[in-house]
Every structure is written in C-alpha cells, then in structure tokens.
C-alpha cells in the first residue's frame, strides 16, 4: 500500500511568486493534515481536513496560504505571494481512525523562497 | 499551553554507544506520546508511542517510558548503529482518546553515529 506522497520534493521560487504544494494521502484516510518546519525549528500544525471540509485551520499563518481538498482525496496548499519567511519543509499527514489518531507522514516538500 | 521540550543537538556518538535523548512535555489531561524519526532524504516515520502512564513503547531497539510523575518520555537505545543517524522528534497529542487533535512536536534532535 502506498504511503503519503507529496509533490514536489523541492521547490525554489522568488519572493512574490506563487507555489502550490500537493499531498496525496493514504487511500481511504479521511483525515489529512498539513504541518511545516521553518528554519530548523519545531514542526507546527497548519490545518486539518476531514474529507473535503476544513476541521481546524487555526495554524494557518496568514491569508497568503490557501489549502483545498476538493473531492476529499488529494490536497493542495498554495502560497501566494510567497515571502522569505515561508521557506521551510511542509509535511502532509493522514490518518484513518481518530480514536487512535496515528498520523502517517509524507516525505515533505522543501520550499526555498529567495 | 501544550508543549514538548527535548534536548538540543546535534548529538554525535560512536557506534555501539548508549543513546539517551531527553524529552519532557507540558499538557493538560492525558496525552499520548510519540517519537518520530526522519532519516536523511525521507519523511517522518513513527518510531514508537505510548498512550498512558507507565506504558513503554519500543521499536528497532529503541525504548521510551511514559512517566507522568516527571512528565517525561526519554528515548533510549543500548547500542546505536550508523544507520540510526537521523533527526528524532518527540511529540504528543493532547487528547488521544476523543476526537481529533493535532500533533505537537518538539524541536528535534539531530543524531550522528560515526563508525
């Protein structure tokens, strides 16, 4: 069974440009999460989808970030316009059972904003 | 609020040395505790977990015991290998039994094992 996949693995863009990150969760997992690790600091929660609905977006830093999960399958995270402080590694995770809530993480997308 | 603190790295050890990475947490209620590992070029993997006080999680020779009295979940391994070189994250979910909650991570500890 395939794990959580993310695309691209690495993105380098200039300040002011737009970038879209994609996450494909494990098949059948209704819960999808986005996290990011900035500047080697702790990994921080961004938001949580249950199917196509946003359950919790309290970690989204500002309105330059837009996450979608149309159809309740894959998700995209768009940053527009990107700023220098957005550089970091963006992780996606999915889980099936909320009672246990073991989240399976993808390899991450390393975003570099120049 | 809820938080996780772990020892600063990087940590460099010789092969077959004993490893301890300290982790302490602050949380209300009864959190579930985790250690995640990120090997070079790979994603985060769950290494081990413990869901209640005095539980011991173990995997691949690593162990950690959920100590509620000291709010700790220290990671240990008796004999490290070069292949254990990675970044280790201590983490918690503050409400592991009810509905969803987000994972709260520590800052990570980078481990390098040299032959």
- How does pLDDT run across B39-83, given as a tens digit for each residue? 988 888 899 999 889 999 999 999 999 999 999 999 999 999 999
pLDDT of A48 reads 93
User: A99 falls in which pLDDT band (50, 70, 90)?
Assistant: low
Asked if residue A97 has pLDDT above 80, the reply is no
Q: What is the mean pLDDT of residues A11-25?
A: 97
Half-sphere exposure of A5 (CA within 13 A, CB side): 8
How far apart CA B79 and CA A90 sit, in angstroms, is 32
CB pairs under 8 A between A and B: 61
pLDDT of B77 reads 97
The nearest CA of chain B is from the CA of A48 a distance in Å of 8
Asked if residue B96 has pLDDT above 60, the reply is no
């Amino acid at each position: 069974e395939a794990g959580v996949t993310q695309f691209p693995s690495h993105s380098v863009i200039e300040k002011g440009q737009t970038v879209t990150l994609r996450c494909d969760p494990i098949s059948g997992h209704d819960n999808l999460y986005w996290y990011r690790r900035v500047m080697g600091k702790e990994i921080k929660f961004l938001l949580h989808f249950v199917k196509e609905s946003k359950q919790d977006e309290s970690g989204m830093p500002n309105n330059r970030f837009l996450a979608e999960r149309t159809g309740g399958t894959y998700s995209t995270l768009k940053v527009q316009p990107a700023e220098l402080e957005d550089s970091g590694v963006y992780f996606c995770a999915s889980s099936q059972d909320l009672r246990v809530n073991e989240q399976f993480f993808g390899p991450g997308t390393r975003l570099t904003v120049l | 609020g809820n938080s996780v603190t772990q020892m600063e790295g990087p940590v460099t050890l010789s092969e077959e040395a004993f490893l301890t990475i300290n982790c302490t947490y602050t949380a209300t209620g009864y959190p579930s505790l985790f250690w995640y590992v990120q090997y070079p070029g790979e994603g985060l993997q769950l290494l081990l977990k413990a869901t209640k006080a005095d539980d011991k999680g173990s995997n691949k020779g690593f162990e950690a015991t959920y100590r509620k009295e000291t709010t700790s979940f220290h990671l240990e391994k008796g004999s490290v290998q070069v292949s254990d070189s990675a970044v280790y994250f201590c983490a918690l979910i503050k409400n592991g039994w009810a509905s969803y909650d987000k994972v709260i991570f520590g800052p990570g500890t980078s481990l390098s094992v040299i032959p």
